[in-house]
Amino acid sequence: MVYITEDMVRRRAEHNECEIFSLEEVSLHQQDIERIEHINRWCRDLRILYLQNNLIPRIENLCRLKKLEYLNLALNNIEVIENLEGCECLQKLDLTVNFVGRLSSVQSLKHNIHLAELFLVGNPCTEFEGYRQFVVASLPQLKCLDGTEISRSERIRALQGLEEVKRQVWQQEKEYLKRRAREKEETQKKAAGEEKGNEERSKGCDGRRYTDANNTAPVLEENKENQEVEEKVKRPDLDDEQQEREFWNTPCSFTPESRLEAHRHLEEKRKAKEKEKEKKPKAPRTLITADGRVMNVNEPKLDFCLTEDEENKAIVLDLAVYRHMDTSLIDVDVQPTYARVNVKGKIFQMVLPAEVKPDSSTAQRSQTTGHLVLTMPRAEGEIKVRKTVQRPSGAQQTRRSSSSEDKKRKTNIPERLEVDPSKHSAIDLASIVPRQNTKAGPLEASRMNPPASTAHSSCSEGFVDDPDVPPLI
């Protein structure tokens, strides 16, 4: 059962800075409220009150609202119009789709002299013969009934045959109240039968424990088995879908009890789903795979724009964060290869097209659109990592007879990071072949060091070595 609490009213009073003593309008619709209370003491200056689509069975605790002008009680379980004499300024009353069967209770609104509009569409009393004529004649201050304006001629005709209409209405009202009493009795019997069945099931489950001189335990077990057989014959498939279909397809009369039963059924389904969610926790989102690959994730489903600023050599990420969201609910994490933003517990992750500098990156909120703008400068040099591949032991044993150069290649080379290209040294081509005598010219050097091919080659017959002739290079 849901009660009207002070916290509930304060949450509805945000437009009034959460002050309820001076509140003039409050909306408490669709809250499953089953009783009106506390409002006449907390909100004395109330002018508009919305209580539609709840489970309220009775109009009460509203007599102190002297300034109340509009009361909406549509889609509730109200059966009698009462306790509104103290609402002196009431101008509009909405009781659409309720269970008002006592049409004579409309006469209690005679004291509300300012009442101009009344809505009773969807109530059992609207099916009575002479319904409109009775209401028009009973409430002379009324100007509009069920959305239709009351003309002067209609009011005169309603007053002329009022006595006959009253007798018809009272007779129909008595029949309705008898039918309503039978419906309440059937509902009570049904509820009592369900409680008795639950007790028998609980006793049947523990039947072996209740033993006496007459040996009643076997009887309880036999009753339990017979009951299970009957249930299987009636419903061979006891899955949730078929039970749900059977509940909604079973015909029943439209009464406050049936509406409460449907509400409780929906509430049980909702609680069962919540329990299933608690039992099965949601698997965490995979942001980085086991092999180190970064995933693109957009859990908050935000629009974004990723651009490159060539002039400033930076990557700009424009994320369309909600305009009125507090910045304290946003957490930004920039890495060299990706950017991650936590928006109110939901992850947005984007792989960057180039490496950036996390230390130099900035994050700002736009004052006009509320977007989050990440400016990430690009790294000057590309980071390269030299990795060593270790060969298996079998491959090393097969190559023990390799040369000394191969053995050097097999040794582990330390990893080096080459970031700054300015520190790279150029190759000195002049120092590749060292000279023995720097003062000697190329001709003398070639004479002093003749090539190996000419020094060791065998001379042919008749060859004369003339020192004045330069050697062939």
Predicted local confidence at residue 202, as pLDDT = 58
Q: For 145-177, write each residue's pLDDT tens digit.
A: 999 999 999 999 999 888 899 999 999 999 999
Going from the C-alpha of 3 to that of each of 94, 154, 183, 300, the distances in angstroms are 22, 43, 27, 34
Q: Are residues 169 and 303 in the same domain?
A: no
On whether the CB atoms of residues 127 and 100 are closer than 8 A, the answer is no
Q: How confident is the model at residue 272 (pLDDT cuts 50, 70, 90)?
A: confident
Q: Does residue 56 lie in a domain region?
A: yes
- Kindly report the number of other CB atoms within 10 A of residue 144's CB atom: 13
Does residue 2 or residue 99 have the better pLDDT?
Answer: 99
Q: Determine which of 27-36, 157-166, 206-215, 430-439 has the lowest per-residue pLDDT on average.
A: 206-215
Cα separation, 369 vs 311, in Å, equals: 25
Predicted local confidence at residue 47, as pLDDT = 95
The rounded percent of the chain whose pLDDT value lies above 70 is 72
> Using a CB cutoff of 8 Å and minimum separation of 24, what contacts does 401-407 make?
none
Phi, psi dihedral angles at 176 (to 5 degrees): -65, -40
Cα separation, 130 vs 392, in Å, equals: 101
CA nearest to 287, candidates 320, 335, 357: 335
Predicted local confidence at residue 452, as pLDDT = 47
Q: How many independent structural domains does the chain possess? A: 2
List the domain range (segments joined by +) for residue 332: 297-377
Does residue 35 or residue 195 have the better pLDDT?
Answer: 35
Angle at 226 between CA 224 and CA 229, to 5 degrees: 110
Going from the C-alpha of 12 to that of each of 51, 64, 172, 324, the distances in angstroms are 12, 21, 42, 19
Average pLDDT rounded to a whole number, residues 185-198 = 76
Tokens of 341: 């933003």
Q: How confident is the model at residue 3 (pLDDT cuts 50, 70, 90)?
A: confident
CA nearest to 323, candidates 373, 365, 370: 370
Tokens of 47: 């002018």
Nearby residues of 403 by Cβ (< 8 Å), 6 or more positions away: none
Average pLDDT rounded to a whole number, residues 245-274 = 82
Q: Does residue 396 lie in a domain region?
A: no
Q: Determine which of 41-45, 68-72, 397-401 has the lowest per-residue pLDDT on average.
A: 397-401
Cα separation, 417 vs 262, in Å, equals: 70
On whether the CB atoms of residues 472 and 454 are closer than 8 A, the answer is yes
Q: Are residues 22 and 158 in the same domain?
A: yes
N-to-C CA span, the chain: 111
Predicted local confidence at residue 450, as pLDDT = 52
Q: Is the pLDDT of residue 321 over 60?
A: yes
Q: Does residue 242 lie in a domain region?
A: no
Q: Does residue 425 lie in a domain region?
A: no
Cα separation, 129 vs 472, in Å, equals: 136
Tokens of 102: 């006592």
Average pLDDT rounded to a whole number, residues 201-206 = 55
Q: How confident is the model at residue 316 (pLDDT cuts 50, 70, 90)?
A: very high
Q: Is the pLDDT of residue 323 over 90?
A: no
Predicted local confidence at residue 19, as pLDDT = 85
Q: Does residue 219 lie in a domain region?
A: no
Does residue 193 or residue 288 have the better pLDDT?
Answer: 288
- Kindly report the number of other CB atoms within 10 A of residue 88's CB atom: 14
Predicted local confidence at residue 147, as pLDDT = 93
Q: Does residue 147 lie in a domain region?
A: yes
Q: Does residue 100 lie in a domain region?
A: yes
- Kindly report the number of other CB atoms within 10 A of residue 466's CB atom: 6
- Residue with the two structure tokens 């397809």: 249
Q: Are residues 14 and 157 in the same domain?
A: yes
Cα separation, 90 vs 112, in Å, equals: 6
Predicted local confidence at residue 216, as pLDDT = 42
Instruction: Decide which of 330, 347, 377 is a domain's last residue.
Output: 377
Average pLDDT rounded to a whole number, residues 38-57 = 92
Predicted local confidence at residue 183, as pLDDT = 87
Does residue 202 or residue 273 have the better pLDDT?
Answer: 273
Average pLDDT score over the chain: 79
The rounded percent of the chain whose pLDDT value lies above 90 is 43
Q: How confident is the model at residue 435 (pLDDT cuts 50, 70, 90)?
A: low
Average pLDDT rounded to a whole number, residues 399-404 = 48
On whether the CB atoms of residues 204 and 227 are closer than 8 A, the answer is yes
Q: Is the pLDDT of residue 226 over 70?
A: no
Classify the C-alpha dihedral 433-435-438-442 as positive or negative: negative
Distance of CA 100 to the CA centre of its chain: 39
Q: For 63-98, write each residue's pLDDT tens digit.
A: 999 999 999 999 999 999 999 999 999 999 999 999
Predicted local confidence at residue 395, as pLDDT = 44
On whether the CB atoms of residues 325 and 370 are closer than 8 A, the answer is yes
Cα separation, 154 vs 351, in Å, equals: 75
Q: Is the pLDDT of residue 422 over 60?
A: no
- Residue 117's beta-bridge partner residues? 92, 144
Cα separation, 284 vs 275, in Å, equals: 19
Q: Is the pLDDT of residue 338 over 60?
A: yes
Nearby residues of 250 by Cβ (< 8 Å), 6 or more positions away: none
Task: Classify residue 119 as exposed, middle or buried by CB count within 10 Å of its CB (0-12, 13-18, 19+).
Answer: buried
Cα separation, 270 vs 260, in Å, equals: 15
Nearby residues of 462 by Cβ (< 8 Å), 6 or more positions away: none
Q: For 443-463, write each residue's pLDDT tens digit.
A: 454 455 554 444 444 556 677
Cα separation, 378 vs 111, in Å, equals: 79
User: How many residues can be counted in the chain?
Assistant: 473
Predicted local confidence at residue 269, as pLDDT = 85
Tokens of 242: 């078929």
On whether the CB atoms of residues 297 and 287 are closer than 8 A, the answer is yes
Q: How confident is the model at residue 187 (pLDDT cuts 50, 70, 90)?
A: confident
pTM above 0.75, yes or no: no
- Residue 251, helix vs strand vs coil: coil
Predicted local confidence at residue 379, as pLDDT = 87
CATH number at residue 321: 2.60.40.790
Instruction: Decide which of 151, 175, 199 is a domain's last residue.
Output: 175
Instruction: Decide which of 333, 360, 377 is a domain's last residue.
Output: 377
Average pLDDT rounded to a whole number, residues 18-44 = 90
CA nearest to 136, candidates 168, 114, 111, 161: 161
On whether the CB atoms of residues 77 and 103 are closer than 8 A, the answer is no
Q: Is the pLDDT of residue 46 over 60?
A: yes
- Residue with the two structure tokens 């369309």: 320
CATH number at residue 90: 3.80.10.10
